[in-house]
Chains A and B, each alone.
Chain A
Amino acid sequence: DTEVTQTPKHLVMGMTNKKSLKCEQHMGHRAMYWYKQKAKKPPELMFVYSYEKLSINESVPSRFSPECPNSSLLNLHLHALQPEDSALYLCASSPLFSGYGELFFGEGSRLTVL
């Protein structure tokens, strides 16, 4: 079982809605990530937080707004999304002391934008 928990597992939203994806880990990891994965494609990095500070933003549109309220939680706020934003959103964490180490992934939140 994964130790990174993502909620909700499935989300359907309209283009005018505001929703949030949540991610939680209790492994003491200080780096957390959001990846986006379209069907039959590899995951693509969106954001990286290190010690609760945003360290990497891969030129993601502002309709995606990340937030890291504490070392265990990572949110992705969604607003005015487009149908092409429908995808599997994966959260991951890693111990920051091994910045080049493995990532631990959650099961993902499958988002459908109507």
Chain B
Amino acid sequence: SQQGEEDPQALSIQEGENATMNCSYKTSINNLQWYRQNSGRGLVHLILIRSNEREKHSGRLRVTLDTSKKSSSLLITASRAADTASYFCATHDTGTASKLTFGTGTRLQVTL
């Protein structure tokens, strides 16, 4: 079953601009993760934020988590054409350690 809803479903920006994607989820979580998927390929883990964390950075990525609103955002700064991909949030619910459930995803297009 699907846990997270992401918006926007699709986002088109120019190189150098920032991209923000939002994720909402429904249940209590242990952590929230973001993954990237190039067209038709496997998923690559980007960043993990635990339920007791509010913000995390990794290179050009910034993730926030608001457990009171059950929402998270992923910010990609100074985007590049190579960032073109689909981005998924995913959650580990508390009590289901092995079950990672993905959100609906955002398709990001970065143009030159």
Q: How far is the CB of A100 from chain B (nearest CB, A)?
A: 5
A88 at interface, CB cutoff 8 A: yes
Residues of A with C-beta under 8 A to B102:
42-44
Against A, the Cβ 8 Å flags (1 = close, 0 = not) of B20-45 are: 00000000001101010000111111
A-B contact count (CB 8 A): 57
Whether A2 contacts B48 by the Cβ 8 Å rule is no
Whether A105 contacts B98 by the Cβ 8 Å rule is no
B82 at interface, CB cutoff 8 A: no
Give Cα A104 to B88, complex, Å: 14
Whether A105 contacts B99 by the Cβ 8 Å rule is no
Whether B45 contacts A102 by the Cβ 8 Å rule is yes
Whether A42 contacts B99 by the Cβ 8 Å rule is no
Give Cα A64 to B106, complex, Å: 29
Range, interface on chain B: 20 to 34
B112 at interface, CB cutoff 8 A: no
Whether A56 contacts B98 by the Cβ 8 Å rule is yes
Question: Given A41, A48, A101, A107, which contacts B42 in the complex, CB threshold below 8 Å?
Answer: A107
A25 at interface, CB cutoff 8 A: no
Q: Sample 24 A-B pairs with CB under 8 A, ordered by A number.
A: A2-B42, A4-B42, A33-B100, A41-B105, A42-B104, A42-B105, A44-B2, A44-B102, A45-B99, A45-B101, A48-B98, A56-B99, A90-B42, A90-B43, A100-B31, A103-B100, A104-B45, A105-B42, A105-B44, A106-B42, A107-B41, A107-B42, A108-B40, A108-B41
